[in-house]
């Protein structure tokens, strides 16, 4: 078996992960891209409002998808393109969660998938101060031009896995995971008619006021209150990306910092209030994006992290959007940022144009 898989990336309309408005897919055979597909779509009924912050990220509006099929109507085509492939995504738990939640609120069953997360592989195989998609793609030699275009993001994700496999001398995903001592994750098949709904779907249904708009809390300004550092949950899932990490927060978050620390601890992380030689993850608020690492738009804690990283300390910078994807959103405006598939880009310029749905191309 060669290096065969399908890479996937979703963009969502709002903070609920079950609100996909765009998807891009890239099919790889023998380590080469052979086909690509992308669709615009309306999110499931009742969860199809477009949040301003998500629109700022990907540039897709309600008008762009008006008259398009809903996700549930398109999924047979999406599923047919994927087939029996291993799914690959950058922050795969989010994209697999999009499929599950969007199908659940559509009242539709979903298939089982083996999947690969290129964020996890980037952390394992690269040495980057941020494993956000633009940084990992650049390291892999496939830099992004239109980040948050689902088709281009899926293509970049595919390029990352191809590069990591090549660096490890692996001719298949199975060989790669064997060489790294990893087990491939698996999402079970599900049927909302007979099984329990996922937590994001239950939360969205509970928060829905008839049009899918979740309750949000007012953004708090002022100097953040650190609060206590709770003990890590020793029974948390060891495979979680924050498990056994030491996490520090900087900048203004859209949730209270004590709440952010509590969510981290639930996932098995230890939190601290300042950057030290123990720090492995820094979560940055105030609309931080990966490009800020180059522009110098950083807090004092972030500058300290860059210094430690240059000295060889294994440490990573996350936006709050990435963090909330890992720990689960809450009643905060940042849910919209977390739901968009990548960090909130508060300075995104030149929103790209999108092709009519669907777009499918094949490559020799």
In whole angstroms, what is the distance from residue 325 CA to residue 267 CA?
A: 12
In whole angstroms, what is the distance from residue 166 CA to residue 38 CA?
A: 27
pTM (predicted TM-score): 0.72
In whole angstroms, what is the distance from residue 248 CA to residue 317 CA?
A: 10
Q: Which two tokens stand for residue 205?
A: 């249904």
Q: pLDDT at position 333, please?
A: 32
In whole angstroms, what is the distance from residue 291 CA to residue 310 CA?
A: 17
| Tens place of pLDDT per residue across the chain (364 aa) | 699 999 999 999 998 999 999 999 999 999 999 999 999 999 999 999 999 888 988 999 999 999 999 999 999 999 999 999 999 999 898 899 999 999 999 999 999 999 999 999 998 999 888 888 988 999 999 988 888 899 999 999 999 999 999 999 999 999 999 999 999 999 999 999 988 898 889 888 888 754 444 433 333 444 457 888 999 999 988 878 899 999 999 877 778 889 999 999 999 999 999 888 899 998 887 666 666 666 666 677 777 777 877 788 888 888 777 787 778 654 333 333 333 343 333 222 222 333 444 555 544 4
Q: pLDDT at position 332, please?
A: 33
Crossing angle between the packed helical segments 92-105 and 320-327, to the nearest 10 degrees: 60
- Residue from 38, 16, 186 nearest 104 by CA: 16
Phi, psi values for residue 42, rounded to 5°: -85, 135
- Evaluated on CA atoms 129, 135, 136, 142, the torsion sign reads negative
Q: Which stretch of DSSP H or E encloses residue 84?
A: none
Q: pLDDT at position 292, please?
A: 61
């Amino acid at each position: 078996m060669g290096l065969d898989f399908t890479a996937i990336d979703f963009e969502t309309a709002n903070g609920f992960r079950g609100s996909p408005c765009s998807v891009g897919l890239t099919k790889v055979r023998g380590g080469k891209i052979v086909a690509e597909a992308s669709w615009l779509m309306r999110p499931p009924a009742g969860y199809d409002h477009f949040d301003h912050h998500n629109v700022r990220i990907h540039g897709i509006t309600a008008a762009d998808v008006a008259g398009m099929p809903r996700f549930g109507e398109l999924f047979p085509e999406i599923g047919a393109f994927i087939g029996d492939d291993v799914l690959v995504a950058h922050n795969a738990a989010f994209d697999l969660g999009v499929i599950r939640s969007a199908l659940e609120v559509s009242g539709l069953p979903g298939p089982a998938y083996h999947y690969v997360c290129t964020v996890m592989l980037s952390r394992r195989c690269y040495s980057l101060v941020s494993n956000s998609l633009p940084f990992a793609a650049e390291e892999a030699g496939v830099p992004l031009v239109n980040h948050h275009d689902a088709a281009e993001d899926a293509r970049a994700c595919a390029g990352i896995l191809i590069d990591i496999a090549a660096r490890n001398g692996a001719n298949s995903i199975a060989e790669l995971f064997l060489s790294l001592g990893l087990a491939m994750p698996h999402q079970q098949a599900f049927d909302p008619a007979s099984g329990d709904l996922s937590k994001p779907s239950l939360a969205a249904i509970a928060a829905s006021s008839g049009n899918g708009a979740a309750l949000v809390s007012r953004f708090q300004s002022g100097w953040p209150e650190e609060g206590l550092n709770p003990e890590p949950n020793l029974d948390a899932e060891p495979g979680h990306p924050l498990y056994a990490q030491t996490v520090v927060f900087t900048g203004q978050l859209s949730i209270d910092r004590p709440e952010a620390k509590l969510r981290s601890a639930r996932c098995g992380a230890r939190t601290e209030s300042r950057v030290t030689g123990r720090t492995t993850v820094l979560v940055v608020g105030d609309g931080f994006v990966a490009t800020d690492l180059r522009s110098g738009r950083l807090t004092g804690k972030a500058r300290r992290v860059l210094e430690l990283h240059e000295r060889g300390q294994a440490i990573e910078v996350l936006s709050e959007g990435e963090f909330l994807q890992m720990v689960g959103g809450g009643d905060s405006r940042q849910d919209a940022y977390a739901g968009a598939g990548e960090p909130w880009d508060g300075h995104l310029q030149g929103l790209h144009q999108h092709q009519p749905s669907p777009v499918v191309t094949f490559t020799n």
